[in-house]
């Protein structure tokens, strides 16, 4: 495959997106790196302070020559089409912060550099730095691509700059008020459920239709289903005998995981003479969404991320508790989000760019970054050193990130969501069995996404 990407992997509208809002090419007589970043205002201020001038001084001291960092702010949403246009016109930045899902697309489109092929990487396998970073965050850059001739080769295409995952949010007040129901079910009201089995029991015990209270409010989508699949040990991608990629959603583990999720909504039980379900149907269009329902105390538990901590901590009637994902047969394994820093193919000094990536993902930098902004560091070796006295809930996310899994490494991940989500919804509605829904999803993924990859 040549150029950017096959059109099937991107909406046609991307072909017409311009560079509005982006900093164009900057001519400078001195050596420089143009870095496009999409941080919010506070993050931008801290990044500018910690990364630009300190790196310039560090680099000059190490190499005896100057380099200038030129920061360009770009919107996070809609960045991919802007990068596509920049690739076509050779006006890409040297480095760009991109969503974890977009690294795959950029790598398949040959738009970014394989970092492990740079001299500064020092040789060795592309996963040799993995022990320094949060494994799931690093893995979002560690991609195995099919080369011409059919050989699959693994390379490192970026480094993580921000990462996040999902944890279990629970309302301690509703647990306390439902203490008798929980004890009757054999549960401790002072502790969140540790397994998916006890989670379902807990959700049932806290479902009280007369109060419009449900034990759980969940989201439908592939990304929100991945913690179930991961916890059952279900993969998304595999290889057939010829080495081609196949979708493994038809496997036993995937079916069992999805059956459990479907059962949270579809398995009815009597509560005070009324038929109810443990899950509120929060995924149904027009229903009260999980975050809002949790804030309203309609849902005792939801899955959510660190972006909702501050809002839900101050929600009236909510006493926020945060726990790791309940354990399935393979543990409690979250999915991940976040962003990565990638070096573009037209960068004039990729070695210096790699040094910048290592600088801003160093232990020293990440310790200060996480402490000042209240974020999850991308370095596993600093998690125990961040001062979290004002943000104790983040400690749970630190723990969960060490038991998380990167999303499927498929170009056009958004396309996966478009294809799989309708099938998941049919399963949740009971219009298809879990087996039928997953079989249909696997078939359409193979036909409309993986077939193009396998044709390389």
Total residues belonging to the chain: 456
* pLDDT for residue 455: 82
| Residue 10: pLDDT band with limits 50, 70, 90 | very low
Quick one: 259 exposed, middle or buried, by C-beta within 10 A (0-12, 13-18, 19+)?
middle
Which of 264, 268, 288, 270 has the alpha carbon at shortest distance from 428?
A: 264
Partners of 97 in the β-ladder? 341
**Looking at residues 428-437, what average pLDDT do you find?**
98
Task: Please report, for the chain, the start and end positions of each structural domain, with discontinuous segments joined by +.
Answer: 7-164+338-405, 167-335+411-454
- State residue 89's pLDDT score: 87
Predicted local distance difference test score (pLDDT) of residue 20: 31
Alpha carbons within 13 A on the beta-carbon side of 80? 25
Q: Is the pLDDT of residue 6 over 70?
A: no
Where are the extended beta strands (E) located within 243-393? Answer: 245-247, 269-271, 274-276, 299-304, 320-323, 334-343
Q: Write out the CATH class of domain 167-335+411-454.
A: alpha beta
Q: Which two tokens stand for residue 418?
A: 């478009």
Buried-state track 353-373, b at ≥16 Cβ within 10 A, e below 16:
bbbbbbbbbbeebbbbbbbbe
How far apart are alpha carbons 152 and 144 in whole angstroms?
Answer: 6
Same fold across 7-164+338-405 and 167-335+411-454: yes
**Nearest to 264, CA basis, from 305, 293, 228, 313:** 228
Mean pLDDT, range 209-225, rounded to an integer = 96
Report whether pLDDT(456) > 90. no
68-124: pLDDT as tens digits: 999 999 998 889 889 988 988 889 999 999 999 999 999 988 999 999 999 999 999
**pLDDT digits over 358-409, tens only?**
999 999 999 999 999 999 999 999 999 999 988 999 999 999 999 999 999 8
- Do 159 and 340 meet the contact criterion of CB atoms below 8 Å apart? yes
261-317 pLDDT, tens digit each? 999 999 999 998 899 999 999 999 999 999 999 999 999 999 999 999 999 999 999
Measure the CA–CA gap between 437 and 11, rounded to whole angstroms.
25
Arch. (CATH architecture) of 7-164+338-405: 3-Layer(aba) Sandwich (3.40)
Q: How far apart are CA 23 and CA 373, in angstroms?
A: 26
Task: Tell me how far CA of residue 320 lies from CA of 7, 141, 194, 272, 388, in angstroms.
Answer: 45, 33, 17, 27, 16
| CA atoms of 214 and 276, how far apart (whole Å) | 9
Compute the distance between CA of residue 334 and CA of residue 326 in angstroms, rounded to an integer. Answer: 9
The token pair at 114 is 């394989």
Quote the pLDDT of residue 29: 64
Percent of the chain with pLDDT over 70: 93
Tell me the pLDDT tens digit for each residue of 319-360: 999 999 999 999 999 999 999 999 999 999 999 999 999 999
* pLDDT tens per residue, range 226-256: 999 999 999 999 999 888 899 999 999 999 9
How buried is 94 (Cβ within 10 angstroms: 0-12 exposed, 13-18 middle, 19+ buried)?
buried
Residue 28 has a pLDDT of: 56
d(CA 68, CA 301): 49
Cβ distance 194 to 301 under 8 Å?
no
- Residue 14, pLDDT > 60, answer no
């Amino acid at each position: 495959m040549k150029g950017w990407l096959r059109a099937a992997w991107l909406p046609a509208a991307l072909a017409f997106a311009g560079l509005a809002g982006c900093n164009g090419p900057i001519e400078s007589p001195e050596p420089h790196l143009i870095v496009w970043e999409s941080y919010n205002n506070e993050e931008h201020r801290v990044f500018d302070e910690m990364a630009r001038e300190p790196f310039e001084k560090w680099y000059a001291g190490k190499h005896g020559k100057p380099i200038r960092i030129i920061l360009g702010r770009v919107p996070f949403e809609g960045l991919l089409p802007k990068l596509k246009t920049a690739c076509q016109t050779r006006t890409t930045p040297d480095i760009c912060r991109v969503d974890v899902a977009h690294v795959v697309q950029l790598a398949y489109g040959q738009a970014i550099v394989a970092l492990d092929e740079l001299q500064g990487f020092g040789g060795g396998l592309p996963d040799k730095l993995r022990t320094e970073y949060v494994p799931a965050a690093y893995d979002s850059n560690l991609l195995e691509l099919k080369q011409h001739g059919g050989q699959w080769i693994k390379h490192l295409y970026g480094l993580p700059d921000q990462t996040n995952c999902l944890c279990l949010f629970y309302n301690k007040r509703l647990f306390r008020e439902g203490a008798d129901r929980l004890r009757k079910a054999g549960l401790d009201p002072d502790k969140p459920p540790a397994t998916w089995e006890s989670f379902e029991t807990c959700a049932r015990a806290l479902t009280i239709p007369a109060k419009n209270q449900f034990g759980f409010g969940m989201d439908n989508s592939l990304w929100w289903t991945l913690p179930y699949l991961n916890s059952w040990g279900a993969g998304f991608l595999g290889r057939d005998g010829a080495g081609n990629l196949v979708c493994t959603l038809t496997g036993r583990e995937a079916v069992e995981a999805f059956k459990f999720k479907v059962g949270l909504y579809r398995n009815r039980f009597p509560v005070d003479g009324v038929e109810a379900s443990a899950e509120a149907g929060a995924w149904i269009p027009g229903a009260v969404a999980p975050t809002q329902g949790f804030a309203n105390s309609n849902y005792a538990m939801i899955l959510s991320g660190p972006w909702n901590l501050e809002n839900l901590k101050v929600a009236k009637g909510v006493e926020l508790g945060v726990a790791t994902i309940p354990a399935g047969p393979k543990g409690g394994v979250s999915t991940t989000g976040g962003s990565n820093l990638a070096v573009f193919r037209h960068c004039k000094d990729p070695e210096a760019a790699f040094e910048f990536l290592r600088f801003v993902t160093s232990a020293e930098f990440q310790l200060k970054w996480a402490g000042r902004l209240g974020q999850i560091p991308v370095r596993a070796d600093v998690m125990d050193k961040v001062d979290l006295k004002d943000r104790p809930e983040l400690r749970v996310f630190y723990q969960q990130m060490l038991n998380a899994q990167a999303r499927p490494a498929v170009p056009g991940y958004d396309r996966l969501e478009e294809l799989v989500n309708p099938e998941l919804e049919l399963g949740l509605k009971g219009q298809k069995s879990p087996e039928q829904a997953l079989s249909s999803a696997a078939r359409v993924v193979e036909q409309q996404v993986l077939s193009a990859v396998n044709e390389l």
